[in-house]
Each structure stands twice: as C-alpha cells, then as structure tokens.
Structure 1
Amino acid sequence: MKTHEVIKPKCLIVDDEPLARDVLRRYCNKLPVLHLVGECSNAIDAYLFLQTNEVDILFLDIRMPELLGTELVQSIKNPPKVIFTTAYKEYAWDGFELDAVDYLLKPIRFDRFLKAVNKALPGLENVLLTNESFEMERKSGIDSIYLRIDRKQVRIVLDEILYIESDKDYIKIFTQEKMYLCRQTISSIESMIDKSEFVRIHRSFIVPIKKIKSYTHELVEINKKELPIGKFYLNHFLKIVATGAS
C-alpha cells in the first residue's frame, strides 16, 4: 500500500424512505473523506449488515417499521458513531440518550450534514469543501418532500406548490393540479422547506415567494387567490419581498 493512502471512514445509510437515502448518498459522495459501504431500507437488514461489516459512521433514521433506529443501536454491542435522522423533533431526546454524535431533522440541509460529519470526525480538514462547492450545494437544495397522505408517503414537488394552509391539526397543500390533505402542523412543514423560497404570511398560510403576483399590507395574491397577511408576520414579509432573501 502506498504510504500516502488514507483509510477512509466507512459509512452506512439506514432509512426506509428512498428520497432520504438519495439525499444522504449525494451528500456522502460530495465528501472525499467518506466511504459509503452500503444502504439499508430497514433496521433489521442493517443489523445483519453490521454483524459482518465494519462501519465507522451510521446515518440512522429513528422511526422505521418493525425495529426503530434507537432499538437497533441498543441491540449492537459496540455501535459505530451514530448520526440520527428523522422528521420528528420529539425523537431527539431518545437519540441523545444513546450518545449519538448528532441529530439531523429532515429535510436535511447540507450545512447541517457537514456539521454532523465534522463532529463525528474531528480534526479531519479534508471533510471541509471549498466555498464554491458548498455554495453550489446550498443553492441546489431539496426539490421535494415526502408527506404521509392516505397511509402512503407522497412526493410533493416544492416548485409546484401555490400555497400551504393550516386547518387545525391538518395542512392543505395547494398546487395547480390538486390539493393534498396531510395530518401535520404548519410549523412542522415550515421547518422542512427552504426559507429562502417560502415565507409564512399568517399563522395559517405559507406561500412560495416567486409565485406572489401582487401584495398589499393586508393581502397576497397568488394564482388569482387572495390570502391574508397577519399583523405579526407583516414586517418579516415586507423585508423578505424587498430583499429577496430571508
């Protein structure tokens, strides 16, 4: 072996959502210091994989069918460094009780992913990307999210959203073609989408900035639909539309 070769930390992705695995795979491939050795769609397959394969970093979803990510970690005698991933903030404490390196909330931003990797691999300067690469990744962002609708994980393309409306414990996502009804809070959706692309204008409404046709201090017009601007959100909204950034 050449003397200058570096042994790369081995990583395993475990998540039952295809989109989540795609995002993590892309992020891992952008960091030359990491070596992605496998992907599993459930914790049971991951358990079997770990019996015969050495892994340094485990990107692990918490909420999965049959066996939770936290239960997987508890079943392993000498678990690797664990970076938990989930769409549910309430699972954070369970993860940290198991000495996880970090906890990433979906949809995972590249800057948070990079921060978590640096926690797992302190002192490895080649983890850091150039500013140009980081800016390109930041701008590329995430173009869709998966939401549980009618017992299925449904892909919602962010660019197709006209506006999002809260209705008690549900949200309505309106697109040009149809309306999606999902049992989720508007605050949880707000945390999943890019704040440079969307702005909350009311306790019950979130809108995509580039689809705003016109506005006053009371109303926003999108696709011939007028939506109210709440007094609490007005100043922030005016700042966003004036600068074009959050």
Structure 2
Amino acid sequence: MESQQKFKCLVVDDEPPAREVIRRYIEQISFLEMAGECSNALQVITLLRQQQIDLLFLDIQLPQMSGMDLIRTLQHPPKIVLTTAYDQYAVQAFELAVVDYLVKPIQFDRFLKSVMKALPEKEAPITAEPAASANRGFLYFRADRKMVKVFLSDICYVESLKDYVKIHTVKGPVITKYALVAPEAMLPAAAFLRVHRSYIVAVDKIESLTTEEIQIAGDLVPIGKLFRQQVFKTRIWSPSPGISSTMK
C-alpha cells in the first residue's frame, strides 16, 4: 500500500508568534506538511508560483495587501482557511468561498476541524459514512497500513497514547496515529463523551460510575477533574436501564 499522502500547507501571518502556533499544530498532524511561511501577500504570490500548495492558512490583516484582497487576485487558489483576531469579516470571507474562518487565539481542536473540512473526502484519513441508523454508522481509521472499518456501535472507549489513540471495541483494539481530538471531532456528541484528557467513552457502554472513575467493558476509566462537572451534567448520571451509578 502506498504511503499516506501529505498535504502541503503554507502559513501566512505578519506576526511570528501567530505563525508559530499554526506551525506547531501542523507538525502534530501526520498527514500535513509544512511547505513554508510568509509575512506578506507578495511573498505568497511568489511562493505559489514556485510550488504546489494544498492548504493555505491566511491572516486577513497583512501589510501592503489584505488576505481577502490577495484571494481576489488568485486565479487558481488552494483551499484557504482565514485566520484573524476579529470576527466582523466572517460574511465577506465566506463570500470568497474559503473553507473556514478561525478567530484567534486558535485552539487545536478548532484548527483540526478546519483541516478535516479542507481535505478531499476521498483523501480524509478518518472518514464517516452516513447510515440510516446511528447504530450502523461507522468510521475508517488508518491502522497497520490499511483503512480499518469500525462501527460506532462497537466502540467502548477511546484512549490517548501520546501520538496515538487506542480505540477499544467489542471486537478488540484498533491503534491509529492521531491526536485524541481527531476521533473526538468525528464521533457523534450525543453518543460519546469526553471524560478525561486521555479518554472518550461510549455512553451506552457505561456499566457503572463513581465521582472518580467509570467502569466500561470491564475496564476502569478515570474521570478527570476538569471534566467531572460536565460528566455529571449529562444524562449518564441519571439512573436509566442498563446503567448503574454509585457515589464514593
């Protein structure tokens, strides 16, 4: 099987710290490649003539020419995600058919959602398929040099392992090289809950829980302090068929 395609990214911002944030995010995603960075629009025009760029992260407020004016000059622009410290340009931005509009400070999970929007559907490393029933929905994950189909109804919980995630299913684990925010962005929020910085659980697979941990598929998953309040705001704390709750 061929190696995973890299999508070349260009970061454009006149502020070095802002470029550094996007560069660090790109480096955390295995299917993205940093092709270069620019501080003004004229540099972008030159670079686009020299190499193929798949995804452009473009600040709106630039010296000499704004990001939106730059877009208007490009005959065959790459996919574009606009970045700005202001939200008043959103309507104008989407009239230019940009992929997304990110307001600074940009969080990694929001950045990742923009990336997933920009990728061609057939190239997306994690893909969701529509289904008549949510229980028959599924995702594809790249694992062991192939794309593995995982039904949502088979997932018990997802565990972060630094640069990888381990998807615990009723049929066994699937390990794939992504940050936890990748599956989190794809899993339906009504059926899956982030309970810890390293864990996402399937609500219907919970067997019991306390204020500190959840028992699921025979394993114990910790509830993080920062997530505890959100966990107990959800329906899983209220007694329902098949779920018991206990307090320490």
Aligned residue-pair number: 141
Output the amino acid matched with 1:11.
C
Among candidates 113, 119, 144, match of residue 111 of structure 2: 113
Q: How has the CA–CA distance of structure 1 residues 118 and 103 changed in structure 2, closer, same or farther, with 3 Å as cutoff?
A: same
Among candidates 10, 13, 35, match of residue 11 of structure 2: 13
Among candidates 86, 89, 99, match of residue 87 of structure 2: 89
Q: TM-score, normalised by structure 2?
A: 0.51
SS, match of residue 7 in structure 1:
coil
Output the amino acid matched with 1:36.
M
Partner Cα separation in structure 2 for residue 44 and residue 59 of structure 1 = 15
Counting only pairs closer than 5 Å after superposition, residues 1-246 of structure 1 correspond to structure 2 as: 3-121=1-119, 122=121, 124-125=124-125, 132=160, 133=162, 134=179
Segments of 5+ residues of structure 1 without an aligned counterpart are 138-239
Higher helix share: 1
CA contact (8 A) 1:32 1:126 kept: no
Output the amino acid matched with 2:109.
D
Residue deviations 1:149-178 (CA, integer Å, cap 9, x gap) = xxxxxxxxxxxxxxxxxxxxxxxxxxxxxx
**Residue 6 of structure 1: CA displacement?**
3.0
CA contact (8 A) 2:13 2:58 kept: yes
**What fraction of aligned residue pairs are identical, expressed as a percent?**
44
CA contact (8 A) 1:88 1:105 kept: yes
Output the amino acid matched with 1:34.
L
Match of 1:185 in 2: none
**Residue 4 of structure 1: CA displacement?**
1.6
Partner Cα separation in structure 2 for residue 36 and residue 126 of structure 1 = 20
CA contact (8 A) 2:109 2:181 kept: no
CA contact (8 A) 1:57 1:81 kept: yes
Segments of 5+ residues of structure 2 without an aligned counterpart are 128-140, 143-157, 163-178, 183-225, 232-248
Output the amino acid matched with 1:118.
M
Output the amino acid matched with 1:22.
E
SS, match of residue 105 in structure 2:
coil
4+ residue segments displaced more than 3 Å: 126-131, 133-137, 242-245
Q: How has the CA–CA distance of structure 1 residues 49 and 112 changed in structure 2, closer, same or farther, with 3 Å as cutoff?
A: same
**Residue 125 of structure 1: CA displacement?**
2.4
CA contact (8 A) 1:33 1:126 kept: no
**Residue 244 of structure 1: CA displacement?**
11
Q: TM-score, normalised by structure 1?
A: 0.51
Partner Cα separation in structure 1 for residue 34 and residue 180 of structure 2 = 23
Match of 1:230 in 2: none
